[in-house]
Structure 1
Amino acid sequence: MAKAKKTPRPKAETPKGFRDYFGAEVTERQEMLAEIARIYRLYGFEPLESSAVETVEALGKFLPDVDRPNEGVFAWQEDGDGDWLALRYDLTAPLARVYAQHRNDLPTPYRRYAMGPVWRNEKPGPGRFRQFYQCDADTVGTASVAADAEICAMLSDTLEALGIPRGDYIVRVNNRKVLNGVMEVAGLLDPSDPDAHGRERGIVLRAIDKLDRLGRIGVRDLLGAGRKDESGDFTEGAGLSETQADVVMGFMEAKGADAATTINALRGLVASSVIGGEGVDELEAIGANLAAQGYGTDQVDIDPSVVRGLGYYTGPVFEAELTFEITDEKGRPRQFGSVAGGGRYDDLVKRFTGQAVPATGISIGVDRLLAALRAKGRIGGEPEGPVVVTVMDRDRMAEYQAMAAELRAAGIRAEVYLGNPKNFGNQLKYADRRGSPAAVIEGADEKANGIVQVKDLILGAEIAKNADLEEWQSRPSQYEVPRGDLVAKVREILNAHGRG
């Protein structure tokens, strides 16, 4: 009789494109989300938590495909011929569904913020994961550009509240209508036939988005016949005439020394386009609104180079960029780049209602922003663990638990060592591995005398590193205190190290 094959053991590995987050990483994200939520609530936004799963029809951007039904999203079909369902790929598409479904019960305008993971079935790469966090704020139901200006102001306040000072970031603002006006003037957009010249417009948009990387000459090449890069690869261009290319380049170079100069340059470029003129008026109104609130161009600035996948948006668009330099994995200096983006999207809810519903919003890439702050050393470092109550007599476990309970009641993180207590050295090694600031010790003698020993583990580590220096040798790192003073002594140690 043949032996039954053993079921192979599963591999203990993270699925491709995903990662695990531990301790301090999770805590840092939670603290960041709490601070972002605080600012959003100050502006009157209310939280919304919607389902992580939507119908593919509701998501709208991706549809099932015979060859690869999951393309772009993680999707599956209900039993039989049921609906296609998918994990959400952003937080905006679910908002459109929620608003359309509950609009009779919601205030107008509806102001909501949402935070959580999103999933994209894309090819993973360095720093590019299939699951990541987003943090959105949107106003649905008003066409007023004051709502767009408010989003920009709130984004500026949020970045500063997270510890990014002025000069280290900029919120840049553009308008889809202005670019449409430029396309119209250049002969690339016919209001009576919006689909005409679609290929050329797509190339132009991608070229504008590459201005920082390719420079003026590289972009000009892409507007014309095309561009050959250093490797010899050729990218086909839009095939614009010199006159058409001049109009587009004039748009990209319209940014002046101040907002008024930029506005005047844009107004001259789109003078013959009605939609372009509307866009310039909106940008001017946003600038005036922000200036009246005290926001300077070192915080929020009008910048025609902002593209942000303009096909999705219908009016103003925003992008928050970190301007400080970091060092990449090869030791080269580079700017960190964009950490948030958004804009006005007046057609998204219309898919459900059949009626235009104006909306505007912003999305912060939380994981990317955390990476930027870590790269600058503004968060991170050694994790802060709990105070560890050691166990000298396992028969007195309840008393040790009572000590930990007292510390917790005082708002101090604490735990009792629950491993094998025979080797006391292992207990202290455990506390070090946990990043504990202090350890509490009470053996039989301490119990009989009504005292406890409190060991300052942070100072102890410093003494160990500087053992040859007399000034460190003379500093005590372990204290004997009355049992009733346990909480006060631990608090004193924490305060001495800035952890109170």
Structure 2
Amino acid sequence: MSESKSESKPDKKPHRVSARLPRGFADRGPAELAATRDMLDTIRKVYERYGFEAVETPAFEYTDALGKFLPDQDRPNEGVFSLQDDDEQWLSLRYDLTAPLARFVAENFDRLPKPYRSYRAGWVFRNEKPGPGRFRQFMQFDADTVGSGSVAADAEICMMAADTLEALGIARGDYVIKVNNRKVLDGVMEAIGLAGDENAGRRLTVLRAIDKLDRLGVEGVRLLLGPGRKDDSGDFTKGAGLNEEQVQRLLLFTGWGEPTGAERAVSVNKLRLDSFERAVGESSSGLAGHAELVELREYCKCSGYDDRIIIDPSVVRGLEYYTGPVFEAELTFEIPGDDGKPVRFGSVGGGGRYDGLVSRFRGEKVPATGFSIGVSRLAAALQKLGKLASAEPVGPVVVVPRTAALAPHCMRLVQQLRDDESLRALPGFAAEMYLGGGSFKGGLRYADKRRCVVAIMIGESEIEAGKAVVKDLIEGTEQAKAIETNAEYRAQRLAQFEATEAELPAAIREILARHSA
């Protein structure tokens, strides 16, 4: 019996998957990667100059190890990206780099020197609503001192943050390191009736609201301290439920204004320390925080940083685990806003003392302090200042065979170039063979797309003569602008010459040097 038409029909084409980038994530090209690499290397050198050593922790941690400061500890996938492994243990992508460090120190406590000074860079992940400039994956670069309760450790972190910004090209006066103390804030909370464990949730809401002063302004924060706030998308954020008197006292505490320049920092520091002492009243916690700020200021002053590190009541840091001094690195120069009006660039990093985080694992107090740089945000600032290389890196020297049969000869030649000591000494030197098939035209088109400076072409006649054709692609492009026809272009053999294999390294060095000046 013959097959029916329906039975003989070929299977439908497989479904084509749509190529789409998940919201809140970003692809990065060679220019951004190269610029970021240079930036991270500069930060690393400053951190190492202060005696910090590198450590790396994995992207995943057990969810309970990340700590109670997460947005919602009762729902593991709120705020963090989580999954269960085959042992039904909850794992989460790290929310920051500090909690994984606390786990690492606790797990290796006996073998590590104390204080333990370390730095680490890596991606962190937030399962939150993405928006303009707000990503679900971004990079941080942290430095922490674990095992010292001295205020000197906090002062040193602040000084290192200042040195880091200057090493990256941000001029003194275009940034400020702002310092506050959570104990002072606790004293103010006590003064407005929010002390005690029963008010822990409201205190956290208050701190997170104040932390948004730069972004939302006074009126936005006023709503978050009171009944709540609806954003432009219609999403509602529940407020702390404070009355008007409590709200006003908090806003007065945080709204004493910013310094107009580094020359005012010294007098501003004294003014604010005096104000803090009055604001905390008889609170023992508040008075202890005030004393720590006085000591921190003295360390900064005697080391020559008093004009760059200022006391500022608006710094609260949103996470719950800070226990003492808290810091914020803010860029003070202005950029055009969305409406064309000048706005400050704002915060590019922050941190503080977190004496209770490691103790979650060990049951004993282990003091710690640290600082975290938001790499992407700082890179954007450096680009605005023209301090971040934006050009894509120069491509490799490309050896192009005329036919596939010549590929083995060209592969040998490429390897000789890679092994040549004089070429390897050149920054960023690389060499490759064109793998797209035997065609000079295709190889040169590929070299242009790779931003190559030099192409080497090998045909049968070149092999017989023991030579290669060297082409200066940049000079060739310039000369081609004066050529009117394809025939004339082919006849001119622009910016190219022959060289023996022994002469190739010197010829390549000369062309690269000419275009790197």
Question: In which range does the TM-score fall when normalised by the shorter chain?
Answer: 0.7 to 0.9
Preserved contact between residue 208 and residue 317 of structure 2 (Cα < 8 Å): no
Preserved contact between residue 322 and residue 339 of structure 1 (Cα < 8 Å): yes
**Which of 142, 149, 152 does residue 146 from structure 1 map onto?**
152
Offset at 1:342?
A: 0.9
- Map of 1:495 onto structure 2: 513
Matched, 1:356 2:365: yes
**Which of 103, 112, 117 does residue 109 from structure 2 map onto?**
103
**Which of 304, 307, 314 does residue 294 from structure 1 map onto?**
304
C-alpha distance in 2, partners of 1:296/1:355?
34
Offset at 1:141?
A: 0.8
Structure 2 counterpart SS, 1:403 = helix
Deviations 1:382-405 (A, max 9, x none): 332111112135433333223323
Offset at 1:208?
A: 3.4
**Which of 83, 86, 106 does residue 79 from structure 1 map onto?**
86
Deviations 1:448-486 (A, max 9, x none): 555443322223334456779xxxx99x73344444232
Higher mean displacement: 322-331 or 453-462: 322-331
Preserved contact between residue 182 and residue 248 of structure 1 (Cα < 8 Å): no
Give the superposed CA RMSD: 3.6
- Map of 1:252 onto structure 2: 255
Taking the TM superposition and a 5 Å limit, the aligned residue runs for 1:243-392 are: 245-246=248-249, 248-253=251-256, 257=264, 258=266, 259-297=269-307, 299-309=308-318, 311-327=320-336, 333-377=342-386, 378-392=388-402
Matched, 1:436 2:448: no
Preserved contact between residue 188 and residue 279 of structure 2 (Cα < 8 Å): yes
Structure 1 counterpart SS, 2:142 = strand
Unaligned 5+ segments in structure 1 are none
C-alpha distance in 2, partners of 1:206/1:83?
30
The percentage of counterpart residues that share the same residue type is: 51
| Pair 1:158–1:404, CA change in 2 (3 A) | farther
- Map of 1:164 onto structure 2: 170
Higher mean displacement: 453-462 or 168-177: 453-462
C-alpha distance in 1, partners of 2:340/2:510?
42
Offset at 1:379?
A: 2.0
Which amino acid is the alignment partner of residue 335 of structure 1?
Answer: R
- Map of 1:133 onto structure 2: 139
- Map of 1:188 onto structure 2: 193
- Map of 1:415 onto structure 2: 432
Preserved contact between residue 64 and residue 84 of structure 1 (Cα < 8 Å): no
**Which of 408, 412, 416 does residue 402 from structure 1 map onto?**
412
- Map of 1:28 onto structure 2: 35
Preserved contact between residue 139 and residue 360 of structure 1 (Cα < 8 Å): yes
Higher mean displacement: 485-494 or 388-397: 388-397
| Pair 1:463–1:188, CA change in 2 (3 A) | farther
Which amino acid is the alignment partner of residue 53 of structure 2?
Answer: E
Higher mean displacement: 341-350 or 209-218: 209-218
| Pair 1:247–1:362, CA change in 2 (3 A) | closer
Q: So what's the TM-score if we normalise by structure 2?
A: 0.82
| Pair 1:459–1:195, CA change in 2 (3 A) | farther
| Pair 1:481–1:261, CA change in 2 (3 A) | farther
Structure 2 counterpart SS, 1:281 = helix
C-alpha distance in 2, partners of 1:74/1:174?
31
C-alpha distance in 2, partners of 1:196/1:12?
48
Preserved contact between residue 100 and residue 349 of structure 1 (Cα < 8 Å): yes
Q: So what's the TM-score if we normalise by structure 1?
A: 0.84
Deviations 1:166-208 (A, max 9, x none): 2332222111112222333x33343xx3434853x45653553
C-alpha distance in 2, partners of 1:485/1:7?
54
Which amino acid is the alignment partner of residue 249 of structure 1?
Answer: L
| Pair 1:16–1:467, CA change in 2 (3 A) | same
C-alpha distance in 2, partners of 1:250/1:339?
23
C-alpha distance in 1, partners of 2:232/2:94?
39
Offset at 1:334?
A: 3.5
Higher mean displacement: 156-165 or 445-454: 445-454
C-alpha distance in 2, partners of 1:86/1:143?
30
Offset at 1:138?
A: 0.9
- Map of 1:49 onto structure 2: 56
Preserved contact between residue 100 and residue 352 of structure 1 (Cα < 8 Å): yes
Offset at 1:49?
A: 1.7
Higher mean displacement: 111-120 or 425-434: 111-120
Unaligned 5+ segments in structure 2 are 1-5
Preserved contact between residue 321 and residue 354 of structure 2 (Cα < 8 Å): yes
Preserved contact between residue 254 and residue 266 of structure 1 (Cα < 8 Å): no
Deviations 1:307-347 (A, max 9, x none): 21163311111111223334456766443322211111111
| Pair 1:441–1:333, CA change in 2 (3 A) | farther
